[in-house]
Amino acid sequence: MSRVLAAVAWPYANGPRHIGHVSGFGVPSDVFSRYMRMAGHDVLMVSGTDEHGTPIQVQADAEGVTPRELVDRYNRVIVEDLHGLGLSYDLFTRTTTGNHYQVVQELFQGLHDNGYIIAKTTLGAISPSTGRTLPDRYIEGTCPICGYDSARGDQCDNCGNQLDPDQLINPRSKINGETPEFVETEHFFLDLPAFADQLSAWLDTRDGWRPNVLKFSRNLIDDLQPRAITRDLEWGVPIPLDGWRDRDDKRIYVWFDAVIGYLSASIEWARRSGDPDAWRKWWQDPEAQGYYFMGKDNIVFHSVIWPSILLGYSSPKAGSLGALNLPTEVVSSEYLTMEGRKFSSSRRVVIYVRDFLERYDADALRYFIAVAGPESNDTDFTWAEFRRRNNDELVAGWGNLVNRSISMAAKNFGEIPAVGELTAEDERLLAAVRAGFDSVGQLLGKHRQKAAITEAMRIVGEVNKYFSDQAPWKLKEDKARMGTVLYVALQAVRDCNTLLTPFLPHSAQKIHELLGGTGVHAPMPEIVEVEDLDNGRTYPVLKGDYTVGAKWEHVAIELGTPLAAPTPVFRKLDESIVEEELARLQS
């Protein structure tokens, strides 16, 4: 048994999340956490909504609401969507809690005390009307190199050159069209080059990472620059230094505060558990493991910036929380596209999680993401392929096996039938299914979920073949042999259901009950309204009791357990859904 931290990327609270987002971090982290818990590990799975930064401020201004009103709205939407997918967070919280502010300020202070935060005066773009930092990508102008008139402040999309915003000819704000002012402004920088050697040595010890993630991370270390970690903005965590603490025009930059959320959410979870130090077992025990789940655009934050923060806080003199563990592995996925195009809310190339779950079952999406998601390559979601996978594999493969074995046993015996002498084929099938606990489990432990579910479905295919070969419906004259075949099939279904539980928890619970099981097989998260531990505001969190439920092991079915005629667990999708969904995309 080991302690396993599942640190899941923080969705940004400026709108509802689409299925591309949850395929990169949400579902894979849940499959992993569910498997590790079933295999006996002590898992802490944490995340929350990322709620600060200029994009939130800009969108709130555009809607005429405060940033807090905006993030309150989308925090709730995102909590409900992740709940609908059955993602088993021990705590899904948010970055606007009093606890998060304290932890962020503590880490900032610790890094500052150790000399890793340096003040610098730079030339920054400011919106003259608001006094706020205008980030590079919010500035547009004519490219000084190729003359393209919509170059961004960070790069020109026409000629591809990297730019600085003050190089643009006729720069203007993309928010309101005004001309930015370039003024001297004092900011704090994280001294990333100071960590280059330690980061490099750490990466050298990392076995088993996805090769593209490791390669990308190494390249980042070759070219480290100090990075600004404060902004001219009023929406964010205040800077905890004398002379800065009470200023309302300077805040800690959102990416610095958001990565600290993994730690602050663990601390919040511990404070809510009644043992405020419980988080230390996942962050300070050298044996504890930490896995970080995200899409590839966030690798830099997890393999460079977050480890630098952890190193700089922990030495030479550890801050008051004590020295903190580095990640065991950065588990990054690639991108999901939609019908060959990039997801885009503005161009309506999108399906939001909520809309998806209104029309389809959560497990149908979870299945698609596991078997065809962007685990180590960019992959494309198409409605035709979604329907095909659902109908041919989930319904015709797994669902049909469950349905025909249980319904035949229910009709002919009304219970799990007695077993006679087992033939060589019976024994061979039962052994093949039981071998799945090793083969599927090993793949899941190595984040090879696509191979793991493919292996589980291969075993389902073997059981289907056994069922067809033995043809119990032809054994009406030999009830004893019919009972034995159905017993073997039901035992195989029972074990296959366990193998599929991390991927398909909702249907696994139903199948458990169809087999006469009672109680919780696959525990589910719940939404709980809680009071902020420090400031009395209330907000919804996701949490759950995941100590209950199935273990990753063979369990013998019990003879004589009453069986009723089953209702179908999976829904077949009509051909018309493909056209309907494509029409929605283009409307």
Handedness of CA 453, 385, 566, 398 (dihedral sign): negative
Please give the residues from 261 up to 320 whose contact with Zn ion meets the rule CB under 5 A: none
Which two structure tokens, joined as six digits, stand for 116? Answer: 């890793």
* Nearest to Zn ion of 146, 548 (CB atom): 146
- Least distance to Zn ion, CB of residue 124, Å: 23
The residues near 584 (Cβ < 8 Å, ≥ 6 apart) are: 351
Q: How many CA atoms lie within 13 A of 104 on its CB side?
A: 28
- The DSSP call for residue 537 is -
CA distance 572 to 395: 6
Residue 528 binding Zn ion, by CB under 5 A: no
Q: Of 158, 382, 400, 407, which lies in the binding site for Zn ion, with binding defined by CB under 5 A?
A: 158
CA distance 159 to 167: 15
- Least distance to Zn ion, CB of residue 164, Å: 13
- Least distance to Zn ion, CB of residue 206, Å: 38
Closest among 337, 357, 373, 490 to 87, alpha carbons compared: 357
- Least distance to Zn ion, CB of residue 113, Å: 44
Please give the residues from 112 up to 151 whose contact with Zn ion meets the rule CB under 5 A: 143, 145-146, 148
* Nearest to Zn ion of 103, 143 (CB atom): 143
Closest among 312, 279, 268, 261 to 7, alpha carbons compared: 261
- Least distance to Zn ion, CB of residue 168, Å: 10
* Nearest to Zn ion of 158, 423 (CB atom): 158
CA distance 150 to 140: 6
Burial status of residue 96 (CB atoms within 10 A of its CB: 0-12, 13-18, 19 or more): buried
Give the residue numbers of the binding site for ATP.
345
CA distance 8 to 6: 6
Tell how strand 3-8 and strand 42-49 pair up: parallel
* Nearest to Zn ion of 159, 555 (CB atom): 159
- Least distance to Zn ion, CB of residue 162, Å: 10
* Nearest to Zn ion of 158, 439 (CB atom): 158
Handedness of CA 267, 273, 278, 282 (dihedral sign): negative
- Least distance to Zn ion, CB of residue 135, Å: 19
- Least distance to Zn ion, CB of residue 391, Å: 48
Stretch that binds Zn ion, among 153-161, 450-458, 538-546, 579-587 (CB under 5 A): 153-161
3-class SS of residue 575: coil
- The DSSP call for residue 377 is S
* Nearest to Zn ion of 151, 309 (CB atom): 151
* Nearest to Zn ion of 157, 249 (CB atom): 157
CA distance 353 to 310: 33
Which two structure tokens, joined as six digits, stand for 500? Answer: 């599929």
Contact call for residues 582 and 384 (beta carbons, < 8 A): no
Could you tell me how many residues of this chain bind Zn ion (CB under 5 A)?
Answer: 7
Q: How many degrees, rounded to 5, is the angle at CA 316 between CA 312 and CA 319?
A: 65
* Alpha carbon of residue 151 to chain centroid: 33
CA distance 345 to 185: 34
CA distance 147 to 537: 51
- Least distance to Zn ion, CB of residue 166, Å: 15
Q: How many CA atoms lie within 13 A of 342 on its CB side?
A: 4
* Nearest to Zn ion of 137, 296 (CB atom): 137
* Nearest to Zn ion of 159, 564 (CB atom): 159
Give the residue numbers of the binding site.
143, 146, 156, 159, 345
- Least distance to Zn ion, CB of residue 540, Å: 46
The residues near 226 (Cβ < 8 Å, ≥ 6 apart) are: 118, 120, 189, 190, 191, 192, 193
* CB count in 10 Å sphere of residue 244: 16
Contact call for residues 110 and 313 (beta carbons, < 8 A): yes
Q: Of 62, 119, 123, 159, which lies in the binding site for Zn ion, with binding defined by CB under 5 A?
A: 159
- Least distance to Zn ion, CB of residue 122, Å: 24
Residue 156 binding Zn ion, by CB under 5 A: yes
Residue 343 binding Zn ion, by CB under 5 A: no
CA distance 499 to 426: 19
122: left (phi over 0), alpha (psi -120 to 50) or beta: beta
* Nearest to Zn ion of 162, 586 (CB atom): 162
> Residue 249 carries which side chain, given as an amino acid letter?
D
* Nearest to Zn ion of 149, 378 (CB atom): 149
Contact call for residues 105 and 240 (beta carbons, < 8 A): yes
- Least distance to Zn ion, CB of residue 142, Å: 9
* Nearest to Zn ion of 134, 168 (CB atom): 168
CA distance 354 to 19: 9
Give the residue numbers of the binding site for Zn(2+).
143, 146, 156, 159
Q: Which residues bind Zn ion (CB under 5 A)?
A: 143, 145-146, 148, 156, 158-159
